[in-house]
Amino acid sequence: MRPTVHDIAAAAGVSLATVDRVLNQRPGVRHVTREKVETAIRQLGYVRDVAAANLAKGRTYPLVFILPASDNSFMHGLNAEIRQAILRSPAERTDIRTIEVPAFDPAALVAVLEGLSREKPCGIAMVATDAPEVRAVVDRLVRASFPIVTLVSDLTGSLRHHYAGVENIAAGRTAARLLGRFLGPRKGEIAVLAGSMLVRDHRERLEGFTSVMAEEFPDLAILPVLEGRDDPEIAHMLVAEALGNADIIGVYSLGAGNRGLIRALKEKAVDRTLTVIAHELTAHTRAALIDNTIDAILNQDAGHEVRSAIRVLKAKADGLAVIESQERIRLDIFLKDNLP
Amino acid sequence: MRPTVHDIAAAAGVSLATVDRVLNQRPGVRHVTREKVETAIRQLGYVRDVAAANLAKGRTYPLVFILPASDNSFMHGLNAEIRQAILRSPAERTDIRTIEVPAFDPAALVAVLEGLSREKPCGIAMVATDAPEVRAVVDRLVRASFPIVTLVSDLTGSLRHHYAGVENIAAGRTAARLLGRFLGPRKGEIAVLAGSMLVRDHRERLEGFTSVMAEEFPDLAILPVLEGRDDPEIAHMLVAEALGNADIIGVYSLGAGNRGLIRALKEKAVDRTLTVIAHELTAHTRAALIDNTIDAILNQDAGHEVRSAIRVLKAKADGLAVIESQERIRLDIFLKDNLP
DNA sequence: CTGTTAGCGCTTTCAA
DNA sequence: TTGAAAGCGCTAACAG
C-alpha cells in the first residue's frame, strides 16, 4: 500500500494535524518539526490522494467562462461545449458560469474582469480581445493569484497561465501551403477574408499565411484583406464584390461568418474553379466541403478547448501539474474524407 | 448540496447499508424495500460520488496492455506513453502491466488472452491481429464480462467494447486526395509501401486509398503493393528497387519502417520530384518532412490512444458512460508548418 | 506551536 | 432481510 498521512505522522512522531499543516503549507509549525515531517514525506515517498482531500474539503471549483456575444456557428458550438461541461459538473466538482461580453470591445471585457476580482472564482477562462488595458487587468488578477487561461484567442505578452487554442501562425502557414500545393503551377490572385484585425488569432493567421505565400508561392498574389467582422452578411457582400475580379483563383477565409462566404461562392463562382480554404468546421462549412465548394477546413476542437481549459484551471487551483501533450490544442485539417 | 446516501436512507426510511445494497444491486433486499429506495433515489435526483466510493473501496483498476514486439518508432512511442501512464497510476488508481507478443502471430495472442482469463484484470487493451481465432477468444472474454478495447488496429466483427485508433479507411482516402491534389494535372505511377496485409489497419488504408484514386484521380496508376513488414531494412530494399521505375511520381507509405523508405528516397530520388505521403510522426519522418523528402504525414496520437483506452476501460469497469467525442482518435495531418 | 476529534460520501463487516 | 458502526485518506474545528 502507498503511504498515508498516518504513516507520515507515525514516522515523524507528530500528529495528523501537524502533517496536514506541513502538507498544505499552513503556518504555525516550528521549523524543526516541519523538517522532520518533510523528511518523512520524502523517505516514504508519500503522494497525497487528491480525491480524498477534495472529499474532506467538500471542495468545488467555481469557474467562469467569458465569451464574446458573437452570433456565429463557432461561438454557438463553444457555448454548447460549455453546457456539456456544466452537465458534468457534479462528477467533476466544478461550478461553471458563463458571462457574455460584446465582441471586439476591450472596455467591456475589462469591466467584467474587474467585477470578477471581487467575487472569488477559483479560475477564469476567457476569449481575449487583444488590447493593453485587458492585459493590464489580467496581469493584476494573475498577480493576485487568480488562475487565468485564454481560450481560442490569446493575449499578447500577458501573464495568463495557459492558452487553450491553436497556434494561429502555424494555422495560417498551413493554409498557405495547402492552397499553394493544391493550385500547383497556376498563377493568379488570392482573396483573404478575415473577421477583424483587432483579435490576435486573425492577425496571426494572416501573418503566417502571407509569409509562406511570399516565401514559397511567388506566383500567387494576395489581395488586400476583406474584414467581415465574423458576420455572414458583411462577409457575403465583400466576397461577392471581390469575385468580380476574374484573376482570383483561391480564397482563404481565416475567420468566422462562413455562411456568407459560401453563399457568395455558390452565386458567383459556378463557372470557374476556385480553391477555397476556410476555418472552423460547422454545419455550413461541412456541407460546403462535401459539395466541393470548399477544399479544406482548418479546425480547432471546441470540446477539447473547453475540457482542457477546465483541467488546467483545476490543476492551477490545486498547484498541480498538467500533462502538457494532452493540453496542446491541435490544428485539425479536414478534407471531405476524414470528417468526424 | 446534492443528496447523499444519508438523504436517501432518511427519505426511504431504511439504513445506509440497505441503500448501498440497492445502489450496488447486491442481493438480500426485499422487493418492496428496494422499490422504496429506488423511488427515493429518483425523487431526490441522487448521483453517486464515484471518488468517495473508490476511496471507501480502496479500489484500483488492474489493466493489461498487449502489444506486438515490433522494433519500429511507432511502437516505441506507444510503449513510452504507456510508461507515462504507469507513472500517473497512483493518482488514477490504475495498476498497469504490458505484455509483448510476437507481431502478426494470432496463435501467440490467443495464448496470452487465454492466460489472462485466469487472472482477473479489470480491463484489457490490445493491438489486435485480425484473425478469426483471436476474435473467438475476445468474444468469449467479453461475454465473461472483461472490458476489452482494441488499440491502433481493430478486430473485425468482434464484440470488443471500443476501438482506440483512427478510422483507417478514412486515412487511406485522405492520403489519396492529398497526393492527387498535390500532384495536380500530372500523370504517372504511384508506389505503395505497406507493412503486412494481415493487419486490418493496413488493409483498410489501402482500400481507402485505392478507391479514392480510382474514383477521382484516374491519371494516377497504383503499382502492386510492396510489403515491408514494418521493417526498415526490407522497406529500404523494396523501395530502392521500385524507384528504378522512372514513371513513379508519388509514394504512399501506409505502414511503419519509414527509416528505410526515407533512406531509399534520399539515395534514389535526388534528381526528380516525388510527392510522398507517409504515416506516423517519428523523429525520422519529422526530419524528412522538414527537409522536403516527405510532403505530408498522417498520424495517430499514441498518447491520446493510451489515455483514451484507460479512460474507456475504467468507465466500462464501473458501468459508466464516456464522453464520445473525447474518445474519438483523430487523424492528424502534418505539413511542415503545423508540427507540434 | 501541537494534538484530539469529528466528519466528507461511501462501503463493509458483523450482529440482530 | 435489515441495521449499527467502523473506516477509506484527508481536513478542519477546537482545545491545550
Residue B55 CB lies within 7 Å of the nucleic strand C: yes
Reduced to 3 states, what is the DSSP secondary structure of residue B196?
coil
Residue B18 CB lies within 7 Å of the nucleic strand D: yes
Residue B56 CB lies within 7 Å of the nucleic strand D: yes
Question: For residue A100, what pLDDT is reported?
Answer: 97
Residues of chain B with pLDDT under 70: none
Q: Are residues B175 and B237 in contact, defined by beta-carbon separation less than 8 angstroms?
A: no
Question: For residue A65, what pLDDT is reported?
Answer: 98
Q: What is the pLDDT of residues B11-28, one digit of tens each?
A: 999 999 999 999 999 988
A94-98, A165-169, A267-271: range with lowest mean pLDDT: A267-271
C-alpha A285/C-alpha B269 separation (Å) is 39
**Residue A144 backbone dihedrals phi, psi, to 5 degrees:** -80, 15
* Closest nucleotide to B53: CA versus each C1': C10
- The string of DSSP letters for B48-69 reads --HHHHHHHHT--EEEEEEEE-
| Order of strands across the sheet that contains A94-101 | A94-101, A61-68, A123-126, A148-151, A162-164
Question: For residue B272, what pLDDT is reported?
Answer: 76
Q: What is the pLDDT of residues A39-85, one digit of tens each?
A: 999 999 999 999 999 999 999 999 999 999 988 889 999 999 999 99
Q: Are residues A249 and A188 in contact, defined by beta-carbon separation less than 8 angstroms?
A: yes
Single-letter amino acid code for the residue at A142: V
Question: For residue A73, what pLDDT is reported?
Answer: 87
Q: What is the pLDDT of residues B36-78, one digit of tens each?
A: 999 999 999 999 999 999 999 999 999 999 999 988 889 999 9
Residue A269 scores a pLDDT above 80? no
Reduced to 3 states, what is the DSSP secondary structure of residue B41?
helix
Question: For residue B255, what pLDDT is reported?
Answer: 92
How long is the CA A29 to C1' D13 vector, in angstroms? Answer: 17
Residue B338 has its nearest CB partner, among A47, A170, A295, at: A170
Query: In 3D, which of B102, B67, B292, B285 has the Cα closest to residue B193?
Result: B285
Contact criterion met (CB < 8 Å) for B90 and A47: yes
- Cα B322 to the center of its chain, rounded Å: 16
Question: For residue B197, what pLDDT is reported?
Answer: 87
Query: In 3D, which of B75, B67, B68 has the Cα closest to residue B257?
Result: B75
Contact criterion met (CB < 8 Å) for A330 and B340: yes
Question: For residue A104, what pLDDT is reported?
Answer: 86
**Residue B3 backbone dihedrals phi, psi, to 5 degrees:** -65, 150
Q: What is the pLDDT of residues A230-264, one digit of tens each?
A: 889 999 999 999 999 889 999 999 998 899 999 99
- The string of DSSP letters for B149-166 reads EEESS--TT---SEEES-
Reduced to 3 states, what is the DSSP secondary structure of residue A105?
coil
Question: For residue A106, what pLDDT is reported?
Answer: 95
C-alpha B299/C-alpha B305 separation (Å) is 12
Give the model's confidence band at A28: pLDDT under 50 very low, under 70 low, under 90 confident, else very high.
confident
